[in-house]
Amino acid sequence: MSDTKKHLSDVEKVNLAGTKAKGQRPYFLAQKQTEQALSVAMSLAMELSVTKERLASLECLLADKGIIEKGELDGYQPSKDEVAKRSLETQAYLARVLRIMQQDKEELESNDPDMQTVQDALTKW
């Protein structure tokens, strides 16, 4: 992890998760909303796939080393501090999953016209 990311507050890290890349987002499907829904679904699928793989690996390692019994994780109760930490992680996760919609909202709120608007304005002269 870079030194810059190490010094960010938890809130800054959540906000950074939804940062928009510079430039216009290309859309390939007929409707922008369809592409947004697909983007959210694919983001969820990737997150879930990675999580399931890591969890399965961790359970196997812990069970193989005799640290836990298989299925023991099902009864785990996190502490209040752990619940708070997980809440922040969930917020960052949702920011990543829903970032395409947040970025569109930010684009609409900004005063910067997109390239198509500028091009249309210039061709009217």
Write the pLDDT tens digit of every residue in 11-43.
777 777 666 666 666 667 778 788 888 888 888
CA-closest candidate to residue 96, choices 25, 39, 51, 26: 39
pLDDT score at 86: 95
Q: Higher model confidence: residue 110 or residue 58?
A: 58
User: How far, in Å, CA of 10 to CA of 46, rounded?
Assistant: 23
Write the pLDDT tens digit of every residue in 40-93.
888 889 989 999 999 999 999 999 999 999 888 888 899 999 999 999 999 998
| pLDDT bracket for residue 4 (50, 70, 90) | low
CA-closest candidate to residue 17, choices 38, 47, 45: 47
- The residue extents of the domains of the chain are 31-120
pLDDT score at 109: 76
CA-closest candidate to residue 106, choices 20, 40, 14: 20
